[in-house]
Structure 1
Amino acid sequence: MAVQTGYLKYGTTGDSQIIDITEDVIGLVSSSGIGNGIVTVFAAGSTVAVTTLEYEPGLIHDLQQALERIAPLDIEYKHNERWHDGNGHSHVRASLLGQSESFPLIDGRLLLGTWQQIIFIDLDNKPRSRKVVVQMVGE
């Protein structure tokens, strides 16, 4: 059983920016030499998320609007009272979406649906430098 770990870095704008990282993940998987196993994609941070969707402008907009309805920017968050950084909504959104996803790796190919892409979302309220960890376990 082999374990390979790769890293992806992104400069982000924040404000629920959604980035399609599918091809970057596939590139790391291809160079790992692992043919069968599992791939975990993990976003390091408490105001980021990793999930999947059909990466197209309408759905990107819909997801951003849904996040605004679920955890609005302009309501009171106790986190903001404590830290005065204005990103309480970012933490709530990230907690609901989660920071990782795992995917089967079969015959050297990441198993994704036809219209399914892996996305990274920076939910914070300011630009940041972000890191995504891609770990492949298998043979």
Structure 2
Amino acid sequence: MAIFRRILELDGTAGTDIHEVTGQVAEVAAASGLAQGLVSVFTPGSTAAVTTIEHESGALSDLRRLLEDLAPAAGEYAHNLRWGDGNGYSHLRAALLGPSLTVPLEGGRPLSGTWQQIVVLDFDNRPRRRQVVVSVVGE
């Protein structure tokens, strides 16, 4: 069993950034030279997440609205009282979606549905440079 790893870098703003990384993940999988296995997409930190969605304006708008309904940016959070950084909502949004995603690798390509794209969401309330660790494990 072999392991291949690359780190992607993403620049964010002070809003809910949604970075579509499907093509970059496929490039890492191809560069690995592996045919079958798993692809892991992971973002370190507690204010970002990884998931899949149809990357089109309507679905993205709906996702942003849902997250705002669940964890409003202007809400009251004990985290904000303790640290004074105002990003309590971003920690909750990240916790709801999680920091990683695992996708099967078949024929050297990550498997996905026709309208399913891999996205990294940056929820923090200040610009950040995010790392995304893409690991391919297989043979």
TM norm structure 2: 0.98
Q: Distance in 2 between matches of 1:10 and 1:44?
A: 12
Q: Distance in 2 between matches of 1:12 and 1:73?
A: 17
* Amino acid across the alignment from 2:96: L
Confirm or deny that 1:102 pairs with 2:102.
yes
* Amino acid across the alignment from 1:52: T
* Amino acid across the alignment from 1:85: D
Q: What SS does the corresponding residue of 1:96 show, helix, strand or coil?
A: helix
Q: What SS does the corresponding residue of 1:24 show, helix, strand or coil?
A: helix
Q: Which residue is equivalent to 1:89?
A: 89
Using the TM superposition, give the Cα deviation of residue 14 of structure 1 relative to its aligned residue in structure 2, in angstroms.
Answer: 3.4
Q: Which residue is equivalent to 2:38?
A: 38
Q: Distance in 2 between matches of 1:49 and 1:119?
A: 8
Using the TM superposition, give the Cα deviation of residue 52 of structure 1 relative to its aligned residue in structure 2, in angstroms.
Answer: 0.1
Aligned-pair identity (%)? 50
Q: What SS does the corresponding residue of 1:3 show, helix, strand or coil?
A: strand
Counting matched residue pairs gives 139
Using the TM superposition, give the Cα deviation of residue 15 of structure 1 relative to its aligned residue in structure 2, in angstroms.
Answer: 1.5
Q: What SS does the corresponding residue of 2:93 show, helix, strand or coil?
A: helix
Confirm or deny that 1:66 pairs with 2:66.
yes
Contiguous gaps of at least 5 residues in structure 2: none
Confirm or deny that 1:3 pairs with 2:3.
yes
TM norm structure 1: 0.98
Q: What SS does the corresponding residue of 1:19 show, helix, strand or coil?
A: strand
Using the TM superposition, give the Cα deviation of residue 127 of structure 1 relative to its aligned residue in structure 2, in angstroms.
Answer: 0.6
Confirm or deny that 1:125 pairs with 2:128.
no
* Amino acid across the alignment from 1:120: V
Ranges of 4+ aligned residues in structure 1 off by more than 3 Å: none
Q: What SS does the corresponding residue of 1:105 show, helix, strand or coil?
A: strand
Q: Distance in 1 between matches of 2:136 and 2:18?
A: 23
Q: Which residue is equivalent to 2:28?
A: 28
Q: C-alpha root-mean-square deviation of aligned residues, in Å?
A: 0.6
Q: Distance in 1 between matches of 2:123 and 2:75?
A: 16
Contiguous gaps of at least 5 residues in structure 1: none
Q: What SS does the corresponding residue of 1:40 show, helix, strand or coil?
A: strand
